[in-house]
A and B are shown apart, each in its own frame.
Chain A
Amino acid sequence: MVSGCSPNEEAATQQPVANELPGYGRNEHEKQHDREVLAEEFLNEHELETIAVLVDIILPSNANFGSATDAGVVDFIDFIVKDMPYHQLPIRGGIAWLDIHSNKMHNKVFKDLTIDQQKAICDTIAYPGKTESELMAGERFFTRMRNLTMTGYFTSEIGIKDLGYQGNRPGVWDGIPADVLSEHDVDYEPEWLAKCVDQSKRTEIAEWDDEGNLLT
């Protein structure tokens, strides 16, 4: 291809495209969808600040791991309400409900309350089955926020580490660790084990006799 680009134009083409995510195996149709969603705005600054307060009440940091906001849960929720529009009304309305409720009680919106005041409100809407009927809308909102917080956290890098999930990497599965077998008082049946793969031969190319018996 003939290149007539000036250095400036070349530099411009090397800029990351706005609203383009790092690749994660998308086809063209999906890339287009992501670009459109990223270009939208739904939650406003006040709403995002309120969400940040709420998600850290739901999942604060502890001695070993960061909080929900540390794990990027606010950004996750900001995206997900645009990507899954059915979250929009319940979350916008829920935040407004929470502010009205806070105003009634303390004459301040939720995010400006003291942490003790905030938690006192959460205590009234965080326990399904124990909520007063006039606060049910708050319970529904809190449940949604807890779900999104938990899923956002445990699908983040921090959360996966916290959980202790150790897969998603190349390895060799050679059965349940011996200490786990004994802890659960179970064991492999010898006849079953005899059928299973000998992992020391996994890279040898399979050959069979005419009866289908594996020779390698």
Chain B
Amino acid sequence: MQVIESSKTYDVAIVGSGAGGGMATKILSEAGFDVAVLEAGPFFDPAQDEYRTQLRWPWESPRRGASSDRRSFGDFDAAYGGWNIEGEPFSNAPGTNFWWFRSRMLGGRTNHWGRISLRFGPLDFKRKSVDGLGDNWPIGYDDVKPYYDKVDKLIGVFGSKENIHNEPDGYFLPPPKPRLHELYYIKGARKSGIPVIPSRLSILTKRINNQRGSCFYCGQCNRACSAYADFSSGTCLIFPAQKNGGKVELFTDAMVREVTTNSEGKATGVNYINKADRKEYHLKAKVVVMAASACSTARILLNSKSSVHENGLGNSSGLVGHYLHDSTGASRSVFIPELMDRKTYNEDGVGGMHVYTPWWLNDKKLDFPRGYHIEVWGGMGMPGYGFGFNPNDLNKVTGGTVGGYGDSLRDDIKKYYGATMGVSGRGESVPQRDNFCEIDHEKVDQWGIPVLKFNYQWTEHEVKQAKHMQDTFEEVLDATGGILLGDKPGADRDYGLTAPGQIIHEVGTTRMGDDKKESVTNKYNQLHDCENVFIMDAGPFVSQADKNPTWTILALAWRASDYLVDQVKKRNIV
């Protein structure tokens, strides 16, 4: 079978259509470049009814919204795929339990994410200077700040000015008022001396332009918004780029296998499998932007071996795939008797929490490095599959009968509806050289492409951090006046620390730096080894704070795109 050549040479081939790929598409097409965007999954637009899950009722799904191998977060979640993708496996080395969430579709995981949009602060770029562990970024907050500002204004994020040094303020839309259970959290946190502030989510509580609507409070951002009132890459970056008259050609179901290079080692385009006809195509491009997700990008680079790039493209340091790291996570929940037999009303609000706790102990000496923020959940949500299971287990706490049958089960359900609340910590891990993904040479996916194998162990830092989370959760939830649920996970369960990958913030596989031997890209996301290849997903992250990576992916992709345009203009590339 012969590789089918594209007749045209594009200025830029962008691999992946998530946050980084979307931003690159917008900035580069608006700069006049002829852009090809390659996405490994199908087209998706939440405004079109055939794709819409927003405002659907549970009974519209025959499995009532349950999760499945086809959608890990349930039928109504916008993310296709998830922990498993049929025909596209990956491996874990013995002793590793890495979870890898992939969403093959236009916009990728931005269609369903939590919209938690936090800037990294000055300390977050220089953690080695604080605790001596890991490495500093080659750039600091001041380098990225102008781009965070631009992202805030372009995409929209609500929040509040708080003047907290390491939680920089931005150009915020006003936040929504807290829900009832969130007031109970605020009460508990105040008693425990822990700060709570309005959350910072990329959801439009006000309009920011005439192309996107404002939030109508269905609480379903994870389903992707038909009014484009939250951020996803397709709705806020790629479609606008197309409408602005940019030259943007979209290749969906295009599974990129490798970046092709010439005899001098420069990139000439990408080879991809068209999933529709299973044939291999070569798309020619003067510049390649990789934004397939930290791990998928590492996989493609490692699979792009040539005589010039013997260890894979960009891998002369041997570091492609290394320093892979995810956020830490742990959770606890509480039953609040005062919330029993609640009056029901519509409290859907925005998708996700209205309040949260930023990390508050930067100045304190602790037995672990770095920190975490606390997310809050609860309320009178829409039932889905699983609602009503063990309908009166809480009778054990309040002293009623457990089990049974008949009309009284209705009373039990209503008694406890909206009376539980939970908190989750999301923390910063310390990147480790020995945590990495590599090519599993014994296994290919259904497209014939060698798959990834993960090697990942948490260190004592993350375990101790999880212990601190559990102690904090216990104190705060106790102070809400509620009764804690379940057992407090102890050392035998690593204090409830999530498995690596489960928080879906995998970053670091192509980290940036000034030293070619210790990093994969320079401080502008450009491969040290190949000047016309840029990495614009979260691969270049040196560390990732306790903050969700998306806002920083967007800011750095914009910054790298500006640099790319400038380098082409100066004829330093091509």
Q: Are B214 and A203 in contact (CB under 8 A)?
A: yes
Q: Are B179 and A180 in contact (CB under 8 A)?
A: no
**Chain B proximity of A154: nearest CB distance (Å):** 5
Chain B residues, CB < 8 A from A165: 344, 380-383
Inter-chain CB contacts under 8 Å: number: 253
Q: Is A196 an interface residue (CB 8 A)?
A: yes
**Chain A: which residue is nearest B43 at the CB level?**
A27
Q: Is A216 an interface residue (CB 8 A)?
A: yes
Q: Are A174 and B177 in contact (CB under 8 A)?
A: yes
Q: Are A173 and B388 in contact (CB under 8 A)?
A: no
Per-residue CB contact flags for chain B residues 303-314 toward chain A (1 = under 8 Å, else 0) read 000000000000
Chain A residues, CB < 8 A from B108: none
Of the candidates B105, B170, B382, B389, the one whose C-beta lies within 8 Å of that of A212 is B170
Chain B residues, CB < 8 A from A57: 405-406
Docked Cα-Cα span, A28 to B275, in Å, equals 13
Q: Is A97 an interface residue (CB 8 A)?
A: no
Task: List CB contacts (< 8 Å) of A59-79 with chain B.
Answer: 59-60, 62, 65, 72, 76, 79
Q: Is A176 an interface residue (CB 8 A)?
A: yes
**Chain A: which residue is nearest B355 at the CB level?**
A192
**Chain A: which residue is nearest B69 at the CB level?**
A33
Q: Are A186 and B187 in contact (CB under 8 A)?
A: yes
Per-residue CB contact flags for chain B residues 191-227 toward chain A (1 = under 8 Å, else 0) read 0000000100000011111100011111110000000
Count contacts on A: residues with CB < 8 A to the other chain. 84
**Chain A proximity of B354: nearest CB distance (Å):** 9
Q: Are B390 and A205 in contact (CB under 8 A)?
A: no
Docked Cα-Cα span, A193 to B407, in Å, equals 42
Q: Is A16 an interface residue (CB 8 A)?
A: no
Q: Are B346 and A166 in contact (CB under 8 A)?
A: yes
**Chain A: which residue is nearest B62 at the CB level?**
A79
Q: Is B160 an interface residue (CB 8 A)?
A: yes
Of the candidates A164, A176, A205, the one whose C-beta lies within 8 Å of that of B183 is A176
Docked Cα-Cα span, A58 to B158, in Å, equals 46
Of the candidates B51, B64, B383, the one whose C-beta lies within 8 Å of that of A76 is B64
Docked Cα-Cα span, A164 to B382, in Å, equals 10
Of the candidates A59, A173, A201, A206, the one whose C-beta lies within 8 Å of that of B349 is A173
Q: Are A155 and B343 in contact (CB under 8 A)?
A: no
Q: Is A84 an interface residue (CB 8 A)?
A: yes
Q: Are B346 and A59 in contact (CB under 8 A)?
A: no
**Chain A: which residue is nearest B61 at the CB level?**
A24
Q: Is A204 an interface residue (CB 8 A)?
A: yes
**Chain A: which residue is nearest B405 at the CB level?**
A58
Count contacts on B: residues with CB < 8 A to the other chain. 97
Chain A residues, CB < 8 A from B171: 208, 212
Given contact pairs A25-B50, A205-B206, A151 touches B180 in the complex (Cβ within 8 A): no
Of the candidates A79, A129, A152, A196, the one whose C-beta lies within 8 Å of that of B176 is A196
Of the candidates B350, B390, B409, the one whose C-beta lies within 8 Å of that of A59 is B409
Q: Is A153 an interface residue (CB 8 A)?
A: yes
Given contact pairs A128-B402, A197-B175, A208-B171, A160 touches B58 in the complex (Cβ within 8 A): yes
**Chain B: which residue is nearest A139 at the CB level?**
B403
Chain A residues, CB < 8 A from B123: none
Q: Is A34 an interface residue (CB 8 A)?
A: yes
Q: Is A113 an interface residue (CB 8 A)?
A: no
Q: Is B114 an interface residue (CB 8 A)?
A: no
Given contact pairs A79-B63, A173-B177, A143 touches B409 in the complex (Cβ within 8 A): no
Name 24 A/B residue pairs within 8 A (Cβ), A-sorted: A58-B406, A129-B403, A143-B403, A150-B387, A150-B389, A155-B59, A157-B59, A160-B382, A160-B383, A168-B348, A170-B55, A170-B216, A172-B217, A176-B179, A176-B347, A195-B174, A196-B174, A198-B174, A203-B206, A203-B207, A212-B170, A212-B171, A213-B161, A216-B206
